[in-house]
Structure 1
Amino acid sequence: MIKILMNIWRRMPMWIHVLATRITQPKFNAGVCTLIFDEAGKVLLFKHTYRKYAWGIPGGGLEYGEQPIHAIVREFYEESNIKIEVKKLLKVASAKEFPHLSIVYLCKIVEGEFKPSHEISEMKYFDVNELPQMLYAEKDLIQWAAKEIQ
């Protein structure tokens, strides 16, 4: 049932996603995301089951009272069964579409083997100049970070 609902959600126009977020979320929310690069400089992306543009940066929301650095480790593990370690804070960014703050960390994989979840069906490394169809803001963030960490 969850897969059917997520498939329907993914096919809805972006304005419905934004409206639903505005109605159901607090006036201002915060999220965390991670960028993980391999030795060749490729970036790790998750294939989300519920997004219109399936490929995207791993991340999620903070639970009440949770520290952002703990949230990204928890979210990544819940969605992939892989443990990560935070290397450094890369950026704090706000969204233009609605009041949202994203805390972006540079991380590395510590241990574990990928296991699909109801939110994430696949993970894959991509060349930063050959990214799949995804949100422009995420593409911009990846390309900015790739230059920053060189």
Structure 2
Amino acid sequence: MSFDRTIRHCRQCGHPVAKRLPDDGDTRERDICTVCSTVHYINPLNVVGTVPWWEDRILLCKRNIEPRLGKWTLPAGFMELGETTAQGAARETVEEAGAQFEIEDLFTVMSVPRVGQVHLYYRARLTSDQFDPGHETQEARLFREDEIPWEELAFRTVRETLQRYFADQRAGRFGTHAFDIE
């Protein structure tokens, strides 16, 4: 699948770029500067977040922004430059839920090639059941498995992560799950 994330001008020198094969033997057309020959790679974006848990409940956030305004999600967002995946997941959890927690193990890694993203969720043990959501969140609330608003979840990655979380919880052990969402 190809994406139209065309780069029009070189990030190094500002001159126009053109799509062509690089001189290094690469087999994919790339955006290459017509003046300085800088190759501009277009790579997937990383979405990082947490599965915050308190006893037998999971913290979900009701979105106050598009896409999926008003739908429920796990706290997550785009990873920033200069942070690790765990740091990004923790930052997003603080920004969106205002939660206090201890980050745990990596839980799910999902490749979503259709939108050019990789989603990574960590388990996070909440140290308080009090939340102070940021401006991107209408409400932050704890749910037991039978209370999850499954039809009101914002993203398939959230649904898949929650399903695996509750399956692992029933099994009495948590693993790391890596899979693709087509």
Normalising by structure 2, what TM-score? 0.61
Contact kept, 8 Å, 2:54 with 2:126, in 1: the verdict is no
Map of 1:4 onto structure 2: none
Matched, 1:55 2:72: yes
C-alpha separation in 1, matches of 2:90 and 2:161? 20
Q: Which of 44, 52, 70 is the matching residue for 1:28?
A: 44
Distance 1:66 1:120, change over 3 A: same
Output the amino acid matched with 1:35: V
Contact kept, 8 Å, 2:49 with 2:90, in 1: the verdict is no
Give the Å deviation of 1:90: 0.9
Give the Å deviation of 1:95: 1.6
Contact kept, 8 Å, 2:63 with 2:72, in 1: the verdict is yes
Matched, 1:38 2:58: no
Contact kept, 8 Å, 1:82 with 1:114, in 2: the verdict is yes
Report SS of the residue matched to 2:90: helix
Same amino acid, percent of matched pairs: 24
Give the Å deviation of 1:81: 2.6
Contact kept, 8 Å, 2:110 with 2:157, in 1: the verdict is no
Map of 2:164 onto structure 1: 144
C-alpha separation in 2, matches of 1:66 and 1:105? 15
Number of equivalenced pairs: 129
Matched, 1:118 2:135: yes
Distance 1:109 1:127, change over 3 A: closer
Contact kept, 8 Å, 1:80 with 1:117, in 2: the verdict is yes
Distance 1:130 1:116, change over 3 A: closer
Report SS of the residue matched to 1:139: helix
Map of 1:104 onto structure 2: 121
Give the Å deviation of 1:65: 2.4
Larger Rg: 2
Gaps of at least 5 residues in structure 2 are 7-41, 173-182
Map of 1:77 onto structure 2: 94
Gaps of at least 5 residues in structure 1 are 1-18
Output the amino acid matched with 1:37: W
C-alpha separation in 2, matches of 1:146 and 1:65? 32
Normalising by structure 1, what TM-score? 0.72
C-alpha separation in 2, matches of 1:48 and 1:127? 19
By relative contact order (CA 8 Å, sep 6+), the higher-ranking structure is 1
More helix by share: 1
